[in-house]
Amino acid sequence: MALVVQKFGGSSVANTERILNVARIITETYQKGNDVVVVLSAQGDTTDDLIAKGKEINPKASKREMDMLLSTGEQISVALCAMAIEAMGFQAVSLTGWQAGVLTDSNYSAARIKRIRAERIQKELDKKKIVLVTGFQGINKYDDVTTLGRGGSDTSAVALAAALHADLCQIYTDVDGVYTADPRHVAGAKKLDEITFDEMLELASLGAQVLHNRSVEMAKRYNVNMEVLSSLSGKPGTKVKEVVKTMEKTHVSGVAKDKNVARVALIGLEDRPGIAFKIFSILAKENVNVDIILQSIGRDESKDISFTVSQDDMGRAKEVMLANQDVIGYKRVEASDQVAKISIVGAGMANNAGVACKMFEALYSAGINIHMISTSEIKVSVLVDERDAENAVQAIHDRFFNEFGAN
């Protein structure tokens, strides 16, 4: 007998028929003699609808109240699914984040799980019940409801799997697994049988929403046996693990696109020591996270520095730069959110000089201009105009995956 954690995303529980389908998958797993803990997301677009409703009443609604509101979506799902399971003749119990003992910090709307007090879940499992837990939420030290950030139900599932020492954590979604690129937008995207935690973490952090990046971070830390699979097709999914068979081969495992990017450029800075320090310490003090940084070569004692931030932070970054124009000393600041970051990820990349070149060539052939480049051991990212984003992903993907057994 094993303990299995199964998570189902919003589209997997979108309507009554889908809930019944999920209940069938859960009860089949239970009937095989497993203990089953289930984590559910809110149905379909419920979370988006709740956000819109809250903003309509108060565009500046506090994050605490937004969390209170958003957490209700997941409650509906677990209660309905528990009813479906009971109707099929099995015992089930639904629990909210606080009933399940999910303790978080107090960072409303982006809370981190600190600990899981699993006694209640364990008690229910001991009674042979199927336990359904609301995803994406917990409770803080003030007994307030918190949420973990968009897509956070994956992290709830992995955290529960780690806390309960589950044998397997299955993330059921609306595609057959992790693909070489978003299968809904990229022709020829291929399903991967397996992928390493490190590569998956990069892909998720660089825009592949199929998994919440913190869930992968946590799965790696606690060595959770994790797989991504479809709740509809019944096909084998993708195993996410520490080491995969193809690891030694030079390869690129995927292409990701992130549209939540903005570029800020400071033009006409003095070319002398200490300028970068000033700019980025001011941004750090404001809690603005900076991603790619590009500095031009000094010419006539002046230089430019540009950097990327998330779109949410663009306004604030520009504001603080303007407020500190005298201190920093520059001529002009420009900011644009009409950009996107396209990345390739692969473990074997570091030792292959040709990989980045192949990516740039694909963009050149498609007539796409690159604004910024950043590289690491396992990824290359470029910043392009947002209107070029789809074409860029397709061109890069074609180059690596669809030509003469490339890669």
Q: Which residues bind ligand ASP (CB under 6 A)?
A: 9-10, 41-42, 47, 73, 135-136, 150-153
Q: 83: which residues sit within 8 A by CB, 6+ positions away? A: none
Using CB under 6 A as the binding rule, whether residue 179 contacts ligand ADP is answered as yes
Q: Which residue is nearest to Mg ion (CB)?
A: 151
Cα–Cα distance measured from residue 130 to residue 36, given in angstroms and rounded to the nearest whole number? 5
Nearer CB in complex with ligand ASP: 45/86:
45
E-assigned strand segments in 253-371: 254-258, 262-270, 293-295, 302-309, 332-336, 339-345
Smallest gap from residue 221 Cβ to ligand ADP (A): 21
Running DSSP on this structure, what letter comes out for residue 350? G
Q: Which does 324 bind (CB under 5 to 8 A by kind): ligand ADP, Mg ion, ligand ASP, none?
A: none
Helix, coil or strand: residue 39: strand
Residue closer to ligand ADP by CB (options 10, 348) is: 10
Residue among 200 and 279 whose Cβ is closer to Mg ion: 200
User: Smallest distance from the beta carbon of 211 to ligand ASP, in angstroms?
Assistant: 10
Range 199-218, binding ligand ADP (CB under 6 A): 208-210
- With CB under 5 A as the contact rule, which of the stretches 82-90, 148-156, 314-322, 357-365 interacts with Mg ion? 148-156
Q: Can residue 184 be called a binding residue for ligand ADP (CB under 6 A)?
A: yes
HSE toward the beta carbon, residue 367, CA cutoff 13 A: 1
DSSP for 364-379, please give it: HHTT----EEEEETTE
254 near ligand ADP, rule: CB under 6 A? yes
Are 72 and 39 in contact by the 8 Å Cβ rule? The answer is no
Q: Are strands 35-40 and 130-134 parallel, antiparallel or unpaired?
A: parallel
Q: Which does 342 bind (CB under 5 to 8 A by kind): ligand ASP, ligand ADP, Mg ion, none?
A: none
Rounded least distance, CB 184 to ligand ADP, Å? 4
Please report how close the Cβ of residue 171 comes to ligand ASP at its closest, in angstroms.
10
Which residues in 330-387 belong to E strands, given as ranges? 332-336, 339-345, 372-376, 379-385
- DSSP letters, 180-218, are SS-TTTSTT--B-SEEEHHHHHHHHHTT-TTS-HHHHHH
Residue 136 partner contact from ligand ASP, ligand ADP, Mg ion, none using kind-dependent CB cut-offs of 5 to 8 Å: ligand ASP
Which residue shows structure tokens 């892909």? 203
151 binds Mg ion (CB under 5 A): yes
Q: Which does 250 bind (CB under 5 to 8 A by kind): ligand ADP, ligand ASP, Mg ion, none?
A: none
Partner from Mg ion, ligand ASP, ligand ADP, none contacting 178, C-beta within 5 to 8 A by type: ligand ADP
150's contact among Mg ion, ligand ASP, ligand ADP, none, with CB below 5 to 8 A by partner kind, is ligand ASP
Sign of CA dihedral 127, 37, 42, 155: positive
Rounded least distance, CB 73 to ligand ASP, Å: 6
- CA 148, distance to chain mean position in Å, is 11
Give dist(CA 314, CA 331) in Å, integer: 19
- Give the binding range for ligand ADP (CB under 6 A) out of 110-118, 158-166, 169-177, 390-398: 169-177
Size of site (CB under 5 A) for Mg ion = 2
177 binds Mg ion (CB under 5 A): no
Q: Evaluate whether 291 touches 262 at the Cβ level (below 8 Å).
A: no
Positions touching ligand ADP (CB under 6 A) are 9-12, 41, 151, 173-175, 178-179, 181-184, 208-210, 254
